[in-house]
Amino acid sequence: MEHLIHLTLKFVEERCNLSLSHSYKIESFKLKGSPERMWQRLKGRQLPPPHIGQNTEKELTLDQLLRSMEVEDCSDAPVLLKEESVTQPKVQLIEEISSTEVPEELNVPAYEMTTVRDANNKPVRIKLKVELPKVSSVSECDLRISKDDAIIDVPEKYKLQVDLPELVDEEMTTAVFNKGKGVLFITAPVAKPGQ
């Protein structure tokens, strides 16, 4: 026992960077609760909470007191004394609720992409024709062009993202919406090398 106490003190001093006094006195203490209950708790088994009216043991453990207080629904029980493994399951920070609304799936519009080439078969521009029959005004459309892709977003109606076959000059890209046919025409010149 002496050796175990010295090892424990030394470990705490080294681990926590502390200086502890090596003079101590072992106090006699009375075991609270039954050894069987302690053994089962150490193994992780939960026992049914004892009722305060039962006099199976002369003294109640802190665990038993807390359980009996929870059974009686004492909301002013000291929170600092509760252990998570003893109390109710951990409450989640985010609560999931089921929605009765089914989100409408956005359609991918029909589109056609062509690469226009010069006499030397070098790509000059990319033409993209997108059919948007449910769109009545160009103000409904959100168009984003980068060097290598195009994204067309019409909230609650259409969503399209296409990878372009060549790098394009997004600054010189033009778009025209034909309101009568509901078709969007995008023309993007191919970027020159080094651009």
- pLDDT for 108-133, tens place per residue? 899 999 999 999 999 999 999 999 99
Domain presence at residue 2: no
Same domain for 142 and 184, yes or no, is yes
Residue 15 main-chain phi, psi, to 5 deg: -70, -40
- How many structural domains comprise the chain? 2
Q: Are 169 and 188 in contact (CB under 8 A)?
A: yes
By residue range, what is the domain housing residue 181?
111-189
Higher pLDDT, 89 or 8: 8
- Taking residue 188's Cβ as centre, other Cβ atoms within 10 Å add up to 22
Q: Give the closest residue to 115 by CA, choosing from 165, 45, 157, 167.
A: 165
User: Does 49 fall in a domain?
Assistant: yes
Task: Say what the pLDDT of residue 50 is.
Answer: 53
The verdict on 75 and 133 lying in the same domain is no
For a pLDDT cut of 70, what percent of the chain falls above it? Answer: 66
| Residue 44 in domain | yes
Q: Is residue 172 part of a domain?
A: yes
- Rounded CA-CA distance 9/20 in Å is 7
Q: How confident is the model at residue 153 (pLDDT cuts 50, 70, 90)?
A: very high
Looking at the structure, do residues 84 and 140 belong to the same domain, yes or no?
Answer: no
Q: Do the domain assignments include residue 161?
A: yes
| Rounded distance between C-alpha atoms, residue 117 and residue 33, angstroms | 88
- Indicate whether 22 belongs to any domain: no
Say yes or no: 121 and 182 in one domain.
Answer: yes
> CATH code at 166?
2.60.40.790
Residue 138 falls within a domain, yes or no? Answer: yes
State the Cα–Cα distance between residues 118 and 123, nearest whole angstrom.
7
Q: pLDDT: is 59 or 190 the higher one?
A: 190
The answer to whether residues 127 and 66 belong to one domain is no
Q: How much is the pLDDT for 20?
A: 79
Most confident of 8-17, 26-35, 44-53, 54-63: 8-17
Which pLDDT does position 69 carry in this prediction? 57
Q: Are residues 184 and 125 in the same domain?
A: yes
Indicate if 122 and 159 belong to the same structural domain: yes
Q: pTM for the full model? A: 0.47
